[in-house]
Structure 1
Amino acid sequence: MLSKKQHLVYAIVGALVVLSTIALVLSLVQIEDVTLPPTVKYGMVFDAGSSHTSLFVYEWDSDKENDTGVVSQTLSCDVQGHGISSYANDPLKAGDSLRECLDKALKVVPAAKQRDVPAYLGATAGMRLLREQNGSAADQILTEVAKTMQEYPVAFKGARILTGEEEGAYGWITINYLLESFTKYSPKAHTWLRPEAANIFGALDLGGASTQISFMPEGSEINWNETSKLTLYGYNYSIYTQSYLCYGQNEMLKRLAKELIAESSSSMRVAHPCYPKGYNETISLSSFCTSPCTNRSDPRLTLSDRNVTLEGRGNASQCLAAVKKLFNFSACGQRQDCSFDGFYQPPLRGQFTAFSAFYYNFNFLNLTEGQSLATVRETIEHFCTRSWEDLSSSYPEENPERLPKYCANANYILTLLLDAYKFNETSWNNIYFQMKTGSADAGWTLGYMLNLTNMIPAEAPAHFKGHVPSLWVAAIAFIILTFALGFVALLLLLWM
C-alpha cells in the first residue's frame, strides 16, 4: 500500500505533466492579432470668399495613406449674406453670420468627437483687399469670427487670410485628389495605390476678387524659384502657382465700369458694350473708393458722389476690346514666359480643370461639354447681342443682378484664358469646366484639409494582443517539463 509521501509525489508529478502539456499546446496554437477598425476623424473649414462664405465638413479614417488622410466631404453649407469683408463697419455680424452653418455642422459630427474636430477659417481675396485698405477693420473681423467659433465645442485652430499662392496651391491639390491623380483605391489589392501613369491636372480658379492658375511645369529652362514644393501620399510635387488680385470677376466689372466712365469724359450717361440693349444701371462714382482695385487716382476721372447711368449696347466685339484694356500685356514685351502685368509664367503643360466662376459662367451658357473654341466664341457673341427684354423673359429664374453681366464675364474669361494664360485653339481642348467630382466641391478647402492631415500624426490602430506562435515558446515549455519531471524523479528515489 502506498504511503502518504508516495501519493503526494505522484500527485505533484501528475499536475506538472498536465500543466506542461497545456503550455506546450498553447505555444503551438496560432492566435492572430485582431486589429480594430480605424476611428473616423472630422475637420471643418470655412471658405470666406469675397462674395460669400461656405463651410465644408470633411472626414477621414485615422489610419492614413502614406501620411495623408483619404478625405471625403460630409457637408457643405452656404452662409447667408455677403462675404465677411462686407462687415468692415459691423464686425460683430461677421461672426454671427457663421452660426447657422456651425449648428448644422455639429449635427453631422458625433457629439463624442466634436471637441477633437479641427476647425479653421480661411479668408481669401476679399479680405486681402480689405487688409490693404483698412488693416484694423480686417483684424477686427477675424477677431469676431474667432470669438464665435471658440464658442462651439470644436478644436478651433485659427482664422486667417490666405495668400493668393496658398489659395492656388490648395485648389490644385483638391482637383488632383478628386480626379484620383495622387492615389486610387484598388479593390483587388484592398489598398490605396498611386496610379502608374498619374495624370496631373492644372487648376484654374476664378473668384470675385482674384484669379489663380496652378500647374506642374516641365522643361530645363523653368525658373524653379517660382515654384512651390508639396508632399502628398509620400511623393513630392513642384508646382507653379500665380494669383492675380483685382482680377476676380466682381472687381473686373468695377474696373471695366470705371474705365468706360473715364473714357466718356465723365458724361452722366455712358454706353456699356457688354450690357444688353435695354438694360441700364446707375452707379455712384464714390462706390469706386470702396476697393483698392478702383480707388486709384485717374486724371480722366474725379471721384465724387455724382451718379452715372451705364446704358447697355450689346456689342460683343466692343465688349471684348474693352475687357482687354484691363490687362497690361505690353509689360511682358517679347517674353514668352510672361502672362501679363510682367508676371512670369512657364509654358502650359497638360490638362486643366476650370472651376468656380469659370464653371458657373460657362455652365449658364451651356459651354461645359467640351465645345470647340470656335463654338464657344460663336455662342458668346450671339448671347451678347440679345436684348434685356429677351434675356429677362428667357431666364425668369436667374438673378436679375447677375443676368446682364454674363456677356462681360464670358468675354473676360476668353481674354484671361487666351491672351493672359496663353491657351490656344489646340490647348483649349485641354480645359475641362467642372465644379464637382462625385459629392465633393472643387475649391481650396479640401486641398487645405488634405495638406493639414500631413501634419496630424497617424493614429496607431488599436489591437487585441494575442499569443505569438514561435518555436522558442515551445522550447521553453519542454525545458520546464523536463526539469520538473527530473526533479520529481529525484525525490522518488530519495523517499522510496
Structure 2
Amino acid sequence: MVKSRSLHLLFTGWCHCRYSLSVFNVGIGLDLSVGVEGVLPSLARPANASRIFHGIVFDAGSTGTRIHVYTFIQKDPELPLLEKETFQSVKPGLSAYADTPETAGETVRQLLRVAKKAVPHVEWERTPVVLRATAGLRLLPPKKAQALLDEVEVAFEESPFFVPDNSVHIMNGTDEGILAWVTVNFLTGQLQAKTKKTVGTLDLGGASTQITFLPKFKTIESAPPDHIARFDLLSTTYELYTHSCTDTHQTDSSLERKVFESSCLSRKFREDWSFGGLTYKISGIPDGSTGFTECYKEMLKVVKGVIHQPPELQDSNTFYAFSYYFDIAVEAGLIDERRGGMVKVQDYSIRAKEVCNKLSMYLATKPFLCMDITYITCLLKDGFGFKDETILKLTQKVNNVETSWALGAIFDYFQNIKIH
C-alpha cells in the first residue's frame, strides 16, 4: 500500500498558494474565563474558586481524525493554565468515507467516548465540542464534503457535550497556519512574555502546507492591503505572515492515463494506488535515470516559482516544524521519534542524496523515502527560500501537548477570534 504524502500532494496538483499578513491583537494577559462565561451554559461555583473548564477539538485531517481534549485552570487574575491534553487519533481521514458518510459519524462517536472519559460527567454539558476539517475535505466535491459534515453534526447532537453554533466546518489553510502559530507560541511561553520575540512555524499535512512567522516591517509594507487579517486574542498586536499551499487540480497527461512514473522511485518498483475513486499504476522509470539530481528536477517542476518567497527567510534562524517534516526526519534517521531534535535544512538535503543515490537499498522497506525527503528539501530551499543553515526544531509535542492548530482553535472558540 502506498504511503507517501508527497505523492498525494503531487496527485492533487501542487500547488495553490495563499499568503497573507495577519494582524493579531495578542497580548500579555490571556483571560479565557471572560470568553468562557459568555459562551458556556452557567454552572454554580463557590466564591473565589478556581475555574476549571474543558474544550474538545476534532482535527479532521486528510490522513486521519484526531481528538484533543483540553483541561484549563483559571485563577483570577492569573493567566489560565493548560493543565493537560488528552489526545487520540484514528485512520483513515473522514475524506476516505466520501461514498459512505455514515461511517464518518461512527468514527466521531468512537472518539467521543475518549472525551467522556477525560471530562468529568458534571462538566459535560458545559464543555464545547467543535470539529475543523482541513485539506482532505477541502479537496472533495462540495456535496460529498457536506454529507460528511452532516453526519458529524448528528453525532455531536447525540453527545452530552455543548454543541455551539457553527461547531462543524471546513477550515481554510490560512486559519490553519495562524492557529498552529498560536499553539506553538503559547506553549513555548512567547505569548505570555513581555517580548515580541516569537518562533515561526512550518506545518506539512497530507494535502497542504503552511508557513507562519512574525515578519519584519519591509515584508509588512510590501503586502497588498487585502492580505491583512485581524483577530483579538490578547492585548498586544502581532502582525503575522502566513502562507498556505494546497491543491489546484492541475492535470498531467500521464495521470489522465492513470499512470505515474518517477525517477524518485527504483526502476523495479511497481504498485497500484487508489486515489479519488481511481486506481493508478505507480512505478519507477524502467529505462530512465534515477538518483537525487533527477528526482530534484521533478520536485522543482511543482515547487519552483509558485510559492511566495519573503526575502527575510534567507536570514531566519529557527522555525518549529512538525507533522510530515517530523515524520520523514524520523524515517530518514535524522532525529529520534521520542525526543525529536534540531536539524538544519541542509541535513534533509544530505540525507536525500544518500537515499536517492542508493534506491535499491530502500526498495523493500522505504520505497518512497527518496521522493518524500527530496520533496521536503525542494520545498524548503526552492519553495520557501530557506538557506542551508536555517535550523528547524522538529517536534510532535511541546510541554507534552501536541503541536497542532487545535489548541489555537479552542482559543479561537472561547475568545470568538475572527481572522479576516
TM-score (norm 1): 0.65
Pairing 1:423–2:398 present: no
* CA root-mean-square deviation: 3.0
Aligned partners of 1:38, 1:212: CA distance in 2, in Å?
37
Closer, same or farther in 2 for the Cα pair 1:372/1:59, shift >3 Å?
closer
Equivalent position of 1:236 in the other structure:
237
Helix, strand or coil at the partner of 2:191: coil
Higher-Rg structure is 1
Pairing 1:222–2:222 present: yes
Maintained 8 Å contact 2:309/2:385: no
Equivalent position of 1:207 in the other structure:
205
Closer, same or farther in 2 for the Cα pair 1:237/1:350, shift >3 Å?
farther
Equivalent position of 1:272 in the other structure:
262
Equivalent position of 1:310 in the other structure:
283
Aligned partners of 1:322, 1:123: CA distance in 2, in Å?
30
Maintained 8 Å contact 1:69/1:454: no
Aligned partners of 2:280, 2:136: CA distance in 1, in Å?
25
Maintained 8 Å contact 2:266/2:290: yes
- 1:370 maps to which of 337, 342, 351: 342
Maintained 8 Å contact 1:200/1:350: no
> CA shift at 1:90, angstroms?
1.1
Closer, same or farther in 2 for the Cα pair 1:103/1:209, shift >3 Å?
same
Structure 1: tracts of 5 or more residues without a match: 1-33, 184-193, 291-304, 330-339, 396-402, 457-496
Maintained 8 Å contact 2:203/2:325: yes
Deviations 1:108-153 (A, max 9, x none): 11100011100000000111111xxx21111111111110111110
Closer, same or farther in 2 for the Cα pair 1:267/1:199, shift >3 Å?
closer
Helix, strand or coil at the partner of 1:209: coil
Pairing 1:347–2:312 present: yes
Closer, same or farther in 2 for the Cα pair 1:53/1:306, shift >3 Å?
closer
Pairing 1:150–2:157 present: yes
Pairing 1:59–2:71 present: yes
Q: Which has the higher contact order (CA 8 A, sep 6+)?
A: 2
Equivalent position of 2:395 in the other structure:
434
> CA shift at 1:371, angstroms?
3.9
Helix, strand or coil at the partner of 1:310: strand
The one-letter code sitting in structure 2 at the alignment partner of 1:155 is F
Pairing 1:82–2:92 present: yes
Maintained 8 Å contact 2:61/2:93: yes
Closer, same or farther in 2 for the Cα pair 1:57/1:439, shift >3 Å?
same
> CA shift at 1:260, angstroms?
8.9
Maintained 8 Å contact 2:304/2:382: no
Greater alpha carbon shift after TM alignment, 311-320 vs 198-207: 311-320
Aligned partners of 1:85, 1:179: CA distance in 2, in Å?
33
> CA shift at 1:100, angstroms?
1.8
> CA shift at 1:223, angstroms?
1.8
Closer, same or farther in 2 for the Cα pair 1:94/1:165, shift >3 Å?
same
Equivalent position of 2:24 in the other structure:
none
Maintained 8 Å contact 1:56/1:73: no
Count of aligned pairs between the two proteins: 357
Answer 1 or 2: which has greater strand percent: 2
- 2:376 maps to which of 395, 413, 419: 413
Equivalent position of 2:171 in the other structure:
162
Pairing 1:361–2:361 present: no
Structure 2: tracts of 5 or more residues without a match: 1-45, 336-340
The one-letter code sitting in structure 1 at the alignment partner of 2:283 is L
Maintained 8 Å contact 2:178/2:242: yes
The one-letter code sitting in structure 1 at the alignment partner of 2:229 is S
Equivalent position of 1:261 in the other structure:
254
Aligned partners of 1:455, 1:372: CA distance in 2, in Å?
37
Pairing 1:95–2:67 present: no
Deviations 1:272-292 (A, max 9, x none): 2112353222357xx5x65xx
Maintained 8 Å contact 2:326/2:396: yes
Answer 1 or 2: which has greater helix percent: 1
Helix, strand or coil at the partner of 2:160: coil
Maintained 8 Å contact 2:62/2:93: yes
> CA shift at 1:240, angstroms?
1.3
The one-letter code sitting in structure 2 at the alignment partner of 1:208 is G
Closer, same or farther in 2 for the Cα pair 1:306/1:150, shift >3 Å?
closer
Aligned partners of 1:167, 1:355: CA distance in 2, in Å?
13
Helix, strand or coil at the partner of 1:155: coil
Equivalent position of 1:468 in the other structure:
none
Closer, same or farther in 2 for the Cα pair 1:197/1:168, shift >3 Å?
same
Closer, same or farther in 2 for the Cα pair 1:308/1:58, shift >3 Å?
closer
Aligned partners of 1:306, 1:126: CA distance in 2, in Å?
18
Deviations 1:256-285 (A, max 9, x none): xx85936xx9697x752112353222357x
Deviations 1:433-487 (A, max 9, x none): 222112101111011112333249xxxxxxxxxxxxxxxxxxxxxxxxxxxxxxx
- 2:414 maps to which of 453, 456, 461: 453
Closer, same or farther in 2 for the Cα pair 1:267/1:113, shift >3 Å?
closer
Pairs within 5 Å for 1:71-150: 71-79=82-90, 81-130=91-140, 134-150=141-157
> CA shift at 1:43, angstroms?
0.5
